Amino acid sequence: MSIDINEIETFDHDVVVIGAGGAGLRAAIECSAQSLNTGMICKSLLGKAHTVMAEGGAAASLGHTDDRDNWKVHFRDTMRGGKFLNQWRMAELHARHAADRVRELEEWGAVFDRTADGYINQRPFGGHRYPRLAHTGDRTGLEMIRTLQDHGIHQGIHIHQECTALKLLKDDARISGVFGYWRETGRFVLFRTKAVIMSTGGAGKCWRVTSNSWEYTGDGMEMAYMAGAELIDMEFAQFHPTGMIWPLSVRGILVTEGVRGEGGVLQNSDGDRFMFNYTPERFKEETADSPEEAQKWLDGDTSARRPPELLTRDVVAKAILNEVEEGRGSEHGGAYLDIASRRDPDYIKRKLPSMYHQFKELAEVDITKERMEVGPTLHYMMGGIAVDGETQMTSVPGLFACGECTGGMHGANRLGGNSLSDLLVFGWLSGLGAKEYISQLTRPLSIDSDDVELARHAAVAPLNREGGENPYVLHEELQSIMNDVNIVRTGAGLQRAIDAIEELKPKLDNIYAVGSSQYNPGWNQALSMRPMMIVAEAVARSALIREESRGAHTRLDFEGEREEWGNINIVVRNAEDGSMEVEQFTRDVPPEHLAEIAYSNLDDLEGGIHV
C-alpha cells in the first residue's frame, strides 16, 4: 500500500537536532540563539538522555585547583591519551573552549562544587595532568543536562519527545528532511529542514556488558552512514575499567572514575595494589612509583606524581583483565576497588553519594566499609561520524554531528571528563556551523516522496509479517558475536565476527514484532537492530584492518603500537552496491604550533603562556 506523503504529520524547521543529550541541547540552544527555527527530537523523554548518567565531571582547564593548568596542557593530555590519532583541530578547539563553555553553564544556573575560595572545584581524573573536572558530587551529568534543559525550554526550541528518527532525506546531495515515528502512537512523522545536527550518542548496546542504556543503538551513525557520510576510528570502543560485576543483573553499570580520583585504589585477590606494575613507558615520568608517593599526592603534595590508578582507561582495563587471567581476580572475576580504607565515611558520602547509594541498593555493599568488586564494561565510542573539524559538517552537505556519535576528537582513547566538555564545545560549534551553511543556501529544498515511501515500508515490515525472528533473540545473538570484538582481539576472532554478522543479515530481513505499533518495545527493538549491526560491522572491519595495538584497540596477534599505523585513520562508508567499504587514509601533517605543544615537555607549557 502506498500513501500520500501529505498524509504524514509534517513539521517545518530550519534545523533539526536529533538527540537531546548534552550535545543536542547545547546545539539547539545555539541554533535558537542564531535565530534559526529549531526542532529537537529524542527517543526518550526530555532530560533522560545518557548525559544524565554522567558522574565524574567535565574536563576544562579552569586552573582553579592548580594554576599551572592551561588549554595547552589539556590539549597535550588529550592527544597523548588518544595516542596521537585525534583530529588535531578538534582536540585544539575542545581544549581552547572548554573552560568558557563550562563557565557559561554557571551563568545558566549550574551549581558545581566549590573550592575553598568559592570557585568551581576540580577533581583529578585519569590521564589529566592536573585536577581538571568541574563536578557536582558524582552526578555531574544530571547537573549539566538539567541546566541545559531548564535554560533550553525558554529559548523557543520546538521539542519533540519520544520521537525516533529512522532516516535522513536528501534533495540530491543535500539534507532536506528527517523521517521518523512517535513512540506513543507508532505514527510516522516528517520534518522538512535545511540542516540536521546529529547528536544521538553511542552504540554500547552492541555489546552485552555495557554501561549504556537501550537508547545506545548507534542510530545516528547508521543514519549518517546510509546518507553517505563516513564513519571514522570505529575500531576504538572504550572499555571503562570499573563497571559493577555482581550481582549479575547489574553487570556493566558504571562505577565512576571519580572513586579513584578521590583516592580509591585497585587490589587483586592477594590484596596487592597491582597498578604499580602496569605503568607504560610513556607515562613513567609522570606517574608515582610507590604507594608512599601516591599517598603524598593524595594529601595534596604538588611535587608528588599521580597514582597509577589514574592512568588512562585502556591501561587500567587491560591491567584488571590480566590480573584475572593470571588467577588473581576477585571473587566474581574482577578486581577490588577500595575507597573505604582511604577516606572517612562522611567524605565518601559527600563526594560520591550516588556510588554509595548505588552499591547499597543494588549490591548490598556499604562502600564506606567494604571494597567494591569491579571489572571492564563497554562504555564509550571514540569512533563515529566523521566531520570537518572547523565546521562540524560531514561530507553530506547540511548534515552536522556533535557529541558521542561523532568520531575524531578522542583518537584511540578518550580521557574521562573529556566527553561532557566535548558535548558543550562541539554542540555550540555545530550550531554555528549549521547557521553558516543555512545562510548560504540559495534554493528551496524538497523531499522525495519515493524515499519516504521506502522508509515507511521498511519500518512497518516487522509488524506486517505473520511470524519471524524475535528481535530480542537477534539482539542477544549480535551481542554474543561481539564477544569476539571485545577488549582484546585477534585477527581470527574478528574475521569470525564479520562472517557471523554477514550470516545474521538475512535474519534481519525476517524480523517480526508482535502487537501493534503503539508504544511497542518489541517493534522499537526490531527497528534498532539494523543500526546496531552496521556499527558492529564497522567496528569489526576497522579492527581487523588495524594490525597493531593502540589505545582501546588491542590485538593479541599484533602487540604494541606500530609506527606505520601512527599516521593512519580508518574510515568506512556505504559503497554503491550496499557493501561496507573500508579505507585507510594518511593523516595530514599536524599544524606546527600544535605539534610543538603536543610533543613538548611540561615545563614549557606550565608557565601559563597563552597562545
Partner 1 sequence: MSKHTFRIWRGDSSSGEFVTYRTEVDEGMVVLDVLHRIQSEQAGDMALRWNCKAGKCGSCGMEVNGKPRLACMTRMNTYSDQEVITVQPMRTFPVIKDLVCDVSWNYEQNKKINPFRPSSAQSDGRYIMSQEDVDRVQEFRKCIECYLCQDVCHVLRDHKRQDVFVGPRFMIRAAGLEMHPLDTEDRIGMIRDELGSGYCNITRCCTDVCPENITITDNGIIPLKERVADRYYDPVIWLTTKISSAIKTTLKN
Ligand X SMILES: Cc1cc2nc3c(=O)[nH]c(=O)nc-3n(C[C@H](O)[C@H](O)[C@H](O)COP(=O)(O)OP(=O)(O)OC[C@H]3O[C@@H](n4cnc5c(N)ncnc54)[C@H](O)[C@@H]3O)c2cc1C
Sites of contact with partner 1 (CB under 8 A) = 44-48, 50, 52-53, 103, 106-109, 111, 113-114, 117-121, 136-137, 139, 142-143, 146, 150-151, 153-154, 161, 184, 213-215, 246-250, 253-254, 354, 357-358, 361-363, 470-472, 513-516, 518-523
Closest residue to ligand X in the complex (CB): 21
The C-alpha atoms of residue 431 and residue 441 are separated, in whole angstroms, by 16
50 among known catalytic residues: no
Gyration radius (Cα) of the chain, Å: 23
165 binds ligand X (CB under 6 A): yes
Cβ atoms of 384 and 401 closer than 8 Å: yes
Active-site pick, 260, 371, 379, 530: 260
Count of positions on this chain that bind ligand X (CB under 6 A): 42
- Does 147 bind ligand X (CB under 6 A)? Our answer is no
Least separation in angstroms between residue 346's CB and partner 1 is: 13
Distance between CA atoms of residues 546 and 409, nearest Å: 19
Q: Rounded to the nearest whole angstrom, what is the least distance from the CB of residue 322 to partner 1 in the complex?
A: 27
**For ligand X, which residue of 41, 79, 337, 538 counts as binding (CB under 6 A)?**
41
Question: How far, in Å, are 82, 267, 314 from residue 206 at the CA level?
Answer: 23, 30, 19
* Grid cell digits, residue 214: 537501550
CA-CA distance, 129 to 206, in Å (whole number)? 33
3-state secondary structure of 574: strand
DSSP characters over 149-194: HHHHTTTT-EEE-SEEEEEEEEETTEEEEEEEEETTT--EEEEE-S
Instruction: Answer with the entry of ligand X, partner 1, none that 397 interacts with (C-beta below 5 to 8 A by kind).
Output: none
Distance CA 375, CA 260 (A): 14
Could you say which of partner 1, ligand X, none residue 42 binds, taking C-beta under 5 to 8 angstroms by partner kind?
ligand X
Q: In the complex, what is the shortest distance from the CB of residue 41 to ligand X, in angstroms, rounded to a whole number?
A: 5
Backbone angles phi, psi at 106, to 5 degrees: -65, -35
Instruction: Cell 584475572: give the residue.
Output: 324
Q: Which residue carries 575553598 as its cell? A: 116
Contact positions with ligand X (CB under 6 A) in 57-116: 57-58
| Contact partner, 608, from partner 1, ligand X, none, Cβ < 5-8 Å per class | none
CB of 566 to ligand X, least distance (A): 25
- 239/211 Cα distance (integer angstroms): 9
Single-letter amino acid, residue 526? A
Min CB(145)–ligand X separation in Å? 7
Binding map of ligand X across residues 353-392, x = CB under 6 A, - = no contact:
---------------------------x------------
What is the Cα–Cα distance from 561 to 550, expressed in whole angstroms?
5
Minimum distance from CB of 308 to partner 1 (Å)? 28
Report the DSSP pairing between strands 15-18 and 195-198.
Answer: parallel
**Residue 18 contacts ligand X per CB under 6 A:** yes
Q: Toward partner 1, which CB reaches closer, 49 or 265?
A: 49
- The C-alpha atoms of residue 46 and residue 419 are separated, in whole angstroms, by 20
Of 5, 17, 28, 51, the residue at the interface with ligand X (CB under 6 A) is 51
Written as nine digits, the cell of 223 is 543514519
On whether the CB atoms of residues 198 and 433 are closer than 8 A, the answer is no
Residue 390 in grid coordinates: 572547523
Contacting range for ligand X; rule: CB under 6 A; set: 47-55, 63-71, 444-452, 507-515: 47-55
CB of 147 to ligand X, least distance (A): 14
Q: One symbol per residue from 405 to 424: x for binding ligand X (CB under 6 A), - otherwise; what is it?
A: -----------xxxxx--x-
Distance CA 168, CA 406 (A): 16
Taking the complex as a whole, how short is the minimal distance between the CB of residue 218 and partner 1, in angstroms? 16
Binding to ligand X (CB under 6 A): which residues in 239-298?
254
- Identify which of residues 22 and 551 has a Cβ nearer to ligand X in the complex: 22
Nearer to ligand X, 135 or 555 (CB): 135
> Which of the following is catalytic: 76, 240, 313, 343?
240
Nearer residue to partner 1 within complex by CB, 439 or 516: 516
**Please, which residue, 461 or 568, has the CB nearer to ligand X?**
461
Partner whose footprint covers residue 513, from partner 1, ligand X, none (CB < 5 to 8 Å by kind) = partner 1
- What does the alpha-carbon distance between residue 204 and residue 289 come to, in Å, rounded to a whole number? 34
Report the residue number, 320 or 365, with the smaller CB distance to partner 1.
365
Q: Is there a catalytic annotation at residue 192? A: no
Decide: is 56 part of the binding site for ligand X (CB under 6 A): yes
CB-based contacts of 357: which residues, under 8 Å, 6+ apart? Answer: none
Instruction: Write down the least CB distance from residue 269 to ligand X, Å.
Output: 27
Query: Number of H helices and number of E strands within the chain?
Result: 18, 22
Q: How far is the CB of 251 from partner 1 (least distance, A)?
A: 9
> What is the rounded CA–CA span in Å between residue 412 and residue 48?
28
| Residues in Cβ contact with 373 at an 8 Å cutoff, skipping those fewer than 6 apart | 244, 245, 246, 330, 331, 332, 334, 335, 336, 337
CA 508 – CA 115 distance, rounded (Å): 54
Binds 219: which of partner 1, ligand X, none (CB < 5-8 Å by kind): ligand X
* 140 near ligand X, judged by CB under 6 A: yes
Rounded Cα distance between 469 and 509, Å, is 9
Return the residue of 44, 193, 569, 574 that touches ligand X, per CB under 6 A. Answer: 44
Q: Which one of partner 1, ligand X, none is in contact with 20 (Cβ closer than 5 to 8 A by kind)?
A: ligand X
**∠ CA 202-203-206 to the nearest 5 degrees?**
165
19 near ligand X, rule: CB under 6 A: yes
Note whether 257 and 235 are within 8 A (CB). Answer: no
Chosen from partner 1, ligand X, none, partner binding at 403 (C-beta under 5 to 8 Å by type)? ligand X
Q: Interaction with ligand X in 202-231: which residues (CB under 6 A)?
A: 211-212, 215, 219-220
Nearer to ligand X, 49 or 494 (CB): 49
Q: Sort residue 364 into left (φ over 0), alpha (ψ -120 to 50) or beta.
A: left
CA distance 394 to 220: 12
Chain contacts with ligand X (rule: CB under 6 A): 18-24, 41-44, 49-51, 53-58, 140-141, 164-165, 199-201, 211-212, 215, 219-220, 254, 380, 403-404, 416-420, 423
Residue positions annotated with a catalytic role: 240, 260
